[in-house]
Amino acid sequence: WFNPRKEIYKTQIVEPAVAFVQAMGDRLQHISNGIQYDTRANGSGSVMRIYRDVRFSKDKTPYKEYVGIIFWEGAGKKTENPGFHLGLTGSGAGIHVGLHGFHKPMLAAYRQAVVDDKLGAELVEVVTAVQSAGYTVGGEHYKRVPRGFDPDHPRANWLRYAALFASSENIPANIVTSDSFMDVCFDHFEKMAPIQRWLVKVAQTIDV
């Protein structure tokens, strides 16, 4: 099914996505000049591959039903760094800012940050600000506080998180195809950016 439609995918999806990456990547420098992007569309850049890795999945559907775009901040693998994410489907778009899963060093750094007087207090402040702006904050995973931490700590609930990210409501398809889409995305990114900045601070404590 896909092969005869590859050219349509390239011209109507990939090429506009790459143009978006270039334009938004430049614009995101106003939020932080450490934000990185890559216009390659082979999976190594900001536009994620359409092919799914089905080796260890029960779902053998070969292709993703969405277009994923990522802008990240930090060294190493892009998916292991805090970032700005955009997901596009036929029904609209979703925006997420943060990290959808902490790798082991980041998880350890995150937990120490939660119980740190300064960083822990900042976490509560940024989450409150982002939620007050109308976004949801997710990442809670564990049922219990991890071993070695006080279950009665005032921020113990945050110790149950294995990720930390803010999410927008769905952006309707008519906005995605409009001239205002770039501005709408940037506005969301800017309002959710406190989560990004806090996670970047935490990442900078790794191996320190």
Q: Give residue-wise pLDDT tens across range 50-96.
A: 656 667 677 776 556 779 999 999 988 999 999 999 999 989 999 99
The mean pLDDT of 129-151, rounded to a whole number, is: 96
139 pLDDT higher than 90: yes
Looking at the predicted structure, is the pLDDT value of residue 2 above 80?
no
Residue 178 to residues 62, 95, 112: CA-CA distances in angstroms? 30, 17, 43
Q: Is the pLDDT of residue 3 over 80?
A: no
Burial of 189 (0-12, 13-18, 19+ CB in 10 A): buried
Q: Which residue has the higher pLDDT, 200 or 59?
A: 200
pLDDT of residue 65: 72
Q: SS3 for 99?
A: strand
Q: Which of 131, 47, 52 is nearest to 88 (CA)?
A: 47
Could you tell me which CATH number the domain at 3-203 has? 3.30.930.20
The secondary element (H helix, E strand) that includes residue 26 is helix 15-28
End-to-end CA distance of the chain: 51
Contacts of 146 (CB under 8 A, 6+ apart): 111, 159, 160
- Supply the pLDDT for residue 208: 54
Looking at residue 51, its pLDDT comes to: 57
pLDDT tens readout for residues 105-123: 999 999 999 999 999 999 9
Q: What is the pLDDT of residue 200?
A: 97
For the chain, give the mean pLDDT.
Answer: 92
Distance, CA of 65 to CA of 84 (rounded, Å)? 20
Taking the domains of the chain in order of start, what are their residue ranges? 3-203
pTM to 2 decimals?
0.91
CA 182 to centroid of chain Cα atoms: 17
